[in-house]
């Protein structure tokens, strides 16, 4: 794991070995008002999704601990494939964890995964690893 920090930006990186697949490189960068998460097997950015928390009263429901009943998360695919539903689910999970650990902020997630890298079991492992990285920053 590598970490770099400056007064406004902190980044932590990690490589995750996935059995039977190429390694997954993770990078989590915190800016003042946004967290960027890059997940790649190919070295490319791939599909970009933006998660924006909506904390207005009555904004929606969430079952994650720490998020109250008035918080919802809006997911937008900015660039790339829109036919992989697991990416939106993973982005929502990332945004909920960032919200619980770092507070309300946008999350820009990049998924450059190949084939089975888009499976729900692989995405769950990646999200668990990113949650550990969030706790280190």
Per-residue pLDDT of the chain (137 residues; tens, 9 = 90+): 666 655 678 899 999 998 888 899 999 999 988 999 999 998 899 999 999 988 664 444 444 445 554 578 999 999 998 888 889 999 999 999 999 988 889 999 999 998 877 788 889 999 999 999 888 77
- What pLDDT score was predicted for residue 9? 84
What pLDDT, on the 0 to 100 scale, is given for residue 13?
A: 92
R_g of the chain, CA atoms, integer Å: 14
How much is the pLDDT for 109? 96
Whether 117 contacts 41, CB under 8 Å: yes
Report if pTM > 0.85.
Answer: no
Residue 40 belongs to what domain range? 2-136
Which pLDDT score, from 0 to 100, does residue 91 have?
A: 94
pLDDT at residue 59, rounded to an integer = 43
So what's the pLDDT on residue 85?
Answer: 82
pLDDT at 61: 42
Instruction: In whole angstroms, give the CA distance from residue 90 to residue 95.
Output: 9
Question: Which CATH number do you get for residue 82?
Answer: 3.30.230.90
Q: How many domains, in total, are found in the chain?
A: 1
Q: d(Cα 51, Cα 77) in Å, to the nearest integer?
A: 9
Q: What are phi and psi for residue 24, nearest 5 degrees?
A: -110, 125
pLDDT of residue 4: 64
Which of 92, 121, 85 shows the shortest CA–CA distance to 109?
92
Name residue, tokens 């207005």.
Answer: 56
3-state SS class at 113: coil
**Residue 60 structure tokens:** 């929606």
- CA distance linking residue 55 with residue 118, whole number of Å: 29
Within 8 A by CB and 6+ apart from 112, the residues are 38, 39, 40, 41, 42, 43, 44, 45, 46, 47
């Amino acid at each position: 794991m590598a970490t770099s920090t400056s007064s406004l930006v902190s980044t932590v990186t990690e490589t995750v070995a996935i059995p039977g697949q190429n390694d997954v490189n993770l990078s989590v960068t915190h800016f003042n008002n946004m967290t960027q998460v890059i997940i790649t097997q190919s070295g490319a950015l791939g599909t970009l999704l933006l998660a924006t928390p909506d904390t207005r009263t009555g904004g929606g429901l969430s079952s994650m601990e720490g998020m109250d009943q008035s918080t919802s998360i809006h997911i937008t695919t900015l660039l790339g494939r829109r036919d992989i539903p697991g990416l939106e689910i993973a982005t929502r999970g990332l945004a909920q964890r960032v919200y619980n650990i770092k507070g309300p902020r946008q999350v820009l997630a990049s998924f450059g995964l190949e084939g089975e890298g888009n499976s729900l079991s692989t995405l769950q492992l990646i999200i668990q690893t990113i949650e550990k990285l969030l706790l280190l920053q």
